[in-house]
Chains A and B, each alone.
Chain A
Amino acid sequence: MFRDSSRSRLILAVLLAAAVALLVLDARPGGDPVTSAARAGGELVFAPTAAGVGWATAPAAALYDGLRQSPETSDRITELEQANADLKDQLQAARIDEQRSKQLDELLDLAGLGGYEIVAAQAVTHVTARGYADTVTIDAGTESGVRPDMTVVNGSGLVGRVTEAGPHTATVMLATDVKSAVGARLEATRKIGVVNGGTVPGGPEAELTLELFDLEAQVDPGDRVVTLGSHEGAPFVPGVPIGTVEEVQVAPGALSRLADIAPAVDFSSLDVVGVVVRGPEEDPRDSVLPPRPDKGDRS
Chain B
Amino acid sequence: MRTAAALIAVPAAVLVQTTIINRLPFDWGAGPDLVIAVVVAVALTTSPAAAAGCGFAAGLAMDVLPPAEHVLGRYALVLCLAAYVLALLRRNTGSAGSLDGRSSVWAVTGTVAATALGVGLGYAVVGLLMGDPRVSLAAVAVNTLVGTALTALVAPLVAFPLLRVRESLADDEYAAVRGPMPSGRW
The interface of chain A, by Cβ under 8 A from chain B, is 1-9, 11-12, 15-16, 18-23, 25-27, 35, 38-39, 41-43, 45-46, 49-50, 53, 57, 124-133, 135-137, 163-164, 166, 169, 171-173, 177-179, 268-270
Grouping DSSP codes into helix (H, G, I), strand (E, B) and loop, the B interface class, with mixed when no group exceeds half, is: helix
Please report the C-alpha to C-alpha distance between residue A49 and residue B65 in the assembled complex, in whole angstroms. Answer: 11
Please report the C-alpha to C-alpha distance between residue A4 and residue B23 in the assembled complex, in whole angstroms. Answer: 40
Contact B30 A166 (CB under 8 A): no
**What residues of B have a CB within 8 angstroms of the CB of A39 in the complex?**
64, 66, 68, 72
Task: Please give 11 more A-B residue pairs, beta carbons under 8 A apart, in addition to A42-B65, A131-B30.
Answer: A1-B92, A22-B60, A23-B72, A125-B66, A126-B23, A129-B31, A130-B143, A133-B69, A137-B67, A163-B69, A166-B68
Number of A-B residue pairs with CB-CB distance less than 8 Å in the complex they form? 210
Please report the C-alpha to C-alpha distance between residue A23 and residue B132 in the assembled complex, in whole angstroms. Answer: 13
**What residues of B have a CB within 8 angstroms of the CB of A53 in the complex?**
19-20, 23
Contact A3 B23 (CB under 8 A): no
The winner among B22, B123, B130, B132 for most chain A CB atoms within 10 A is B22
Interface size on B, residues (CB 8 A): 73
Contact A4 B186 (CB under 8 A): yes
Please report the C-alpha to C-alpha distance between residue A272 and residue B142 in the assembled complex, in whole angstroms. Answer: 29
Chain B 1-41 residues near chain A, CB threshold 8 A:
15, 17-31, 33, 35
Please report the C-alpha to C-alpha distance between residue A55 and residue B130 in the assembled complex, in whole angstroms. Answer: 38
**What residues of B have a CB within 8 angstroms of the CB of A173 in the complex?**
69
Contact A16 B80 (CB under 8 A): yes
**What residues of A have a CB within 8 angstroms of the CB of B142 in the complex?**
131
The winner among A22, A125, A179 for most chain B CB atoms within 10 A is A125
Please report the C-alpha to C-alpha distance between residue A96 and residue B184 in the assembled complex, in whole angstroms. Answer: 64
